[in-house]
Chain A
Amino acid sequence: MSTETMDLEQYADKARELLTAIEAGDREEVGQRLDELTRLRETELFREVGKLTRELHEALKTFRTDNRLGDLVATEIPDAQDRLNHVIELTENAAHRTLTALEESLETLSGIGSEGRELAAEWQRFRQREMAAPEFRELSKRMDDFFERLQRESDEVHGKLTDALMAQDYQDLTGQIIRRVMKLVKEVEDGLVSLISLSAPQRGTEERKAADNKTGEGTGDGTTLEGPQVPGHESDTAVSGQDEVDDLLSSLGF
């Protein structure tokens, strides 16, 4: 017989005795039966409170041992904010770098274009024999200068467009940073799922297992890859630029 059915039968017995006492008009007996009913109710309450206390205790114990979520909140979320701020900075710089390169290139090109059109018109006049000798000497000097300008400025435009090309490396760098933040978000999500599952233990284990699978990128032989360094969060052993890479490699005989 289940506890609940037993409880209900006990209630029924007491209630019947109470009713008999009321019908008999026995006030003292009524009071006594009411007291008994109340006691029965209290016992049940205590049992429930006891059960809840035990569950809470277990939940707190499990939560304390699984403090990964605490770590995430204390250190990795602020760290992720810095990473995302760095992403904003990288994309902003890349956009400005690209725009500057394009603006300057456009200006250079329009300068070359307008001088080219002027010279073409003059050249047309010369071909149609509408130009006197002194004027032609002037024109040929201008054309020499223009050819020189063409070489110089096309090199400049080439350099600027290469810079615009290089600026697009932000997509790789920010992509790597965003992937790491996404991994963190997933880990927080798993942690929260496992927290919820503590209050509903019957469906907990699987989700908790998923949350326990700590993330960390491998390279197949134990090296943890860090991706781009984020200002303020540089690894102790990270180099600060290509020069240090070169120094390190040459110290190794490269």
Chain B
Amino acid sequence: MKILIVDDFSTMRRIIKNLLRDLGYNNTAEADDGNTALPMLKKGGFDFLVTDWNMPGMDGLQLLKNVRAEEDLKTLPVLMVTAESKREQIIEAAQAGVNGYIVKPFTAATLKEKIDKIFERIESA
């Protein structure tokens, strides 16, 4: 299981990376915005994407839309972890095809719960 973590704040990337390691996901890579992340994803090999929304360059929503538009990536599970907490934004992300949505600040338990749920749904599909 290889996971890409995308956030413009390196501290947040480290936090998520550590939490994922705690959950048993040791194989992670990092990118600081959509422009860096997209080519990495296109190269292949990633099974899961955790992304922030508000980032300079290409933001998380745009990244999500680009991922969904790629033939090879359109089924990649995407979890958004963001401080954006307006209802219309959550709906917009859902419509763009996000698999899970976590608002910052979040807890380790929330991250585990959402990831478990995403994979449960994928396995049962």
Whether chain B is bound by chain A comes out as yes
B-contacting residues of A (Cβ < 8 Å)? 162, 165-166, 168-169, 171-173, 175-176, 217, 219-221, 223, 225-229, 235, 237-239, 241-242, 245, 248-249, 252, 254
Q: Interface of chain A, helix or strand or loop or mixed? A: loop
A223 to B62 CA separation, bound complex (whole angstroms): 11
Q: Are B15 and A165 touching (Cβ within 8 A)?
A: yes
Given contacts A165-B19, A225-B54, A227-B83, contact A249 B90 (CB under 8 A): yes
Chain B contributes a number of interface residues (CB within 8 A of A) equal to 35
Given contacts A171-B9, A239-B85, A248-B91, contact A165 B102 (CB under 8 A): no
Q: Are B107 and A166 touching (Cβ within 8 A)?
A: yes
> Most chain-A CB neighbours within 10 Å: which of B58, B91, B103?
B103
Q: Are B9 and A238 touching (Cβ within 8 A)?
A: no
B44 to chain A, nearest CB (A): 25
A83 to chain B, nearest CB (A): 13
30 contacts between A and B (CB under 8 A): A162-B19, A162-B22, A165-B15, A165-B19, A169-B11, A169-B15, A169-B106, A172-B7, A173-B83, A176-B54, A219-B54, A219-B62, A221-B62, A225-B59, A225-B89, A226-B85, A227-B54, A227-B83, A228-B104, A237-B88, A238-B85, A239-B85, A239-B90, A242-B103, A245-B101, A248-B87, A248-B90, A249-B90, A252-B94, A254-B94
Q: Are A219 and B86 touching (Cβ within 8 A)?
A: no
> Most chain-B CB neighbours within 10 Å: which of A171, A227, A229, A245?
A245
A18 to B103 CA separation, bound complex (whole angstroms): 87
Interface residues of B in 1-34 (CB under 8 A from A): 7, 9, 11-12, 14-15, 18-19, 22
Q: Are A172 and B12 touching (Cβ within 8 A)?
A: yes
